[in-house]
Amino acid sequence: MEDWRKDARREPIIVDLDALVPKDHLLRKIENVMDYEWLYERLEPYYCHDNGRPGTDPVVLIKMVLLQHLFSIPSLRQTYQRIQDTLSYRWFLGYGLLDEIPHFATVSYAFCKRFPDELTTEIFEHILNKALNNRMVDPSVIFIDGTHIKASANKKKYRKEQVAKAAKVYSGQLRREVNEEREKLGKKPIEDEDHPQGGGGETVEKTVSTTDPDCGMFVKGEHERQFAYEAHTACDKRGFVLGVEVTAGNVHDSVAWDKVYDNVTSKFEVQFVTMDAGYKTPWIAKKTIEDNKIPILPYTRYTGKKDCYKPWEYTYDPANDTYTCPQGGILRHTTTDRDGKRTYRSIPAQCRDCPCKAKCGANEKGQKLFTTHVWQEYLDLVEQIRKTDCGKELYAQRKETIERVFADAKEKHAMRYTHHRGLAAVTQWVRLKFAAMNLKKLANWSWKNSFSRFIFVYCFLNCKKTPAFVT
């Protein structure tokens, strides 16, 4: 009879847990680059050492959350279950084979009730600073974009609400410039309407989830309607996430852009800002250029009538502030509205008998109206930058940088949907996701660099010098 191998599952053995974890395991690499002393000092005021039951090590609780995000585990409950029988996870926490793992409810309570709200931001910035100190981050070129995260909300349970229209960040500056132009044209200035919401008293209808009121209804292209959040993210050309701002899924990219941009540019020396077509607005172009940054934006297709004259076929005369149509007609600047739109009109007698009146788009009175924005010159500069070789090269890197970050976050780190509810909870969850991704990249690159240095030193010390013969 064949002598099969005996069952060794109950065989007692004396072994060091450290010997069972591979030397090139990701968690070993992370332990080599991370330090946790600052966490003990930061969380010291939130623990009482002379009263009550002994508390759980706060670093262990934070490590359990990092394990969840590093290895794409959907929930803390499943993270707790996997730690029970995964040797590398126990080694990472500093626990032995028979030690009792902290319950997942303890971890959840600590982040919801005990730890400060800004702790996740501090963890994210601490990891990013480590990468920066190791010269792994190159913030000279940043890439900004947003990705939607499906919310934990039933899309059939909602109500319609009339909410005040939010004021734009640049509304005050735009109003001042508009009134200056209206004063030159002899028009009355537009008064600042005093409303508590700052939106001019206008209201819009909003679909609000009864399950999670903080999320927003997301409808885009052929996608189905669903409640979602959006993570507006900035990264460098090496894939390190530099900043993130989480909003409801129905907030446009250009609305949330200011917070992400200000957050990143206030901390790093940025030279180029690469964005997609959703950010191609006059305000974003103006603010970026005035901050001595170079915006990289794509080509946007013309959406007007195909059988009419295109806007670029009109010639602008800055001395007289007029436009000349392809047939030689003069369009004078007549007014500027509260949205910053300049209106240029032609003289009816001049266009009434024009043979190209239909192609020009003149009205029944024979008058042509042409509109531009007060910050149109910044968009014209963006178009010139787009056509340069540098602009084309940097925009092509979006698929290798910010789009790759979103793909890895959803495919490898379970960020397609969230079980958390509320904007604050989802923001902390997203920030920890990106902190784990930065930590993973930092650990792997540090290990490769140290391994390469070891190979170089080994080869240098063991190589024999070849004698040189003189002929």
CA distance 217 to 159: 11
CA distance 290 to 285: 9
Residues 6+ apart with CB under 8 A from 246: 229, 230, 231, 232, 423, 426, 427, 430
Question: Any idea which of 257-261, 267-271, 340-344 has the lowest mean pLDDT?
Answer: 340-344
CA distance 276 to 444: 30
Apex 318 CA angle, 316 and 319, nearest 5: 130
Tokens of 77: 């409950």
- pLDDT tens for residues 160-219? 988 887 778 888 889 999 998 888 888 888 876 544 444 556 788 899 999 999 999 988
Classify 198 in phi/psi space as left (phi over 0), alpha (psi -120 to 50) or beta.
Answer: left
Tokens of 413: 């780190």
DSSP SS3 for 145: strand
Region 11-39 average pLDDT: 91
Residue 469: is its pLDDT beyond 70? Answer: no
CA distance 126 to 36: 10
Question: Any idea which of 2-16, 90-104, 363-377 has the lowest mean pLDDT?
Answer: 2-16
Residue 406: is its pLDDT beyond 60? Answer: yes
Apex 137 CA angle, 296 and 292, nearest 5: 35
Closest CA to 217 of 283, 260, 157: 157
pLDDT score, position 457: 47
Residue whose structure tokens are 């007060």: 374
CB atoms within 10 A of CB 23: 8
Q: Where are the alpha helices (DSSP H) in 370-422?
A: 376-386, 389-396, 402-411
- pLDDT tens for residues 131-166? 999 999 999 999 999 999 999 999 899 999 888 877
Residue 461: is its pLDDT beyond 70? Answer: no
CA distance 392 to 396: 6
Residue 458: is its pLDDT beyond 60? Answer: no
Element spanning 315, H or E: strand 315-317
Tokens of 28: 């070993």
Element spanning 317, H or E: strand 315-317
Amino acid at 202: E
**Partner residues linked to 344 by β-bridges:** 333, 370
CA distance 297 to 459: 48
Region 37-43 average pLDDT: 94
Residue whose structure tokens are 């209804």: 217
Mean pLDDT, the chain, whole residue set: 88
Residues 6+ apart with CB under 8 A from 46: 58, 114, 115, 116
Closest CA to 274 of 234, 238, 245: 234
Half-sphere exposure of 277 (CA within 13 A, CB side): 5
Closest CA to 63 of 438, 446, 436: 436
- pLDDT tens for residues 59-111? 999 999 999 999 999 999 999 999 999 999 999 999 998 899 999 999 999 99
Question: Any idea which of 35-49, 137-151, 254-268, 447-461 has the lowest mean pLDDT?
Answer: 447-461
CA distance 363 to 374: 24
- pLDDT tens for residues 246-262? 999 999 999 999 999 99
pLDDT score, position 463: 53
Question: Any idea which of 122-126, 200-204, 249-253, 287-291 has the lowest mean pLDDT?
Answer: 200-204
Amino acid at 293: K
Q: Looking at the whole model, is its pTM more than 0.85?
A: yes
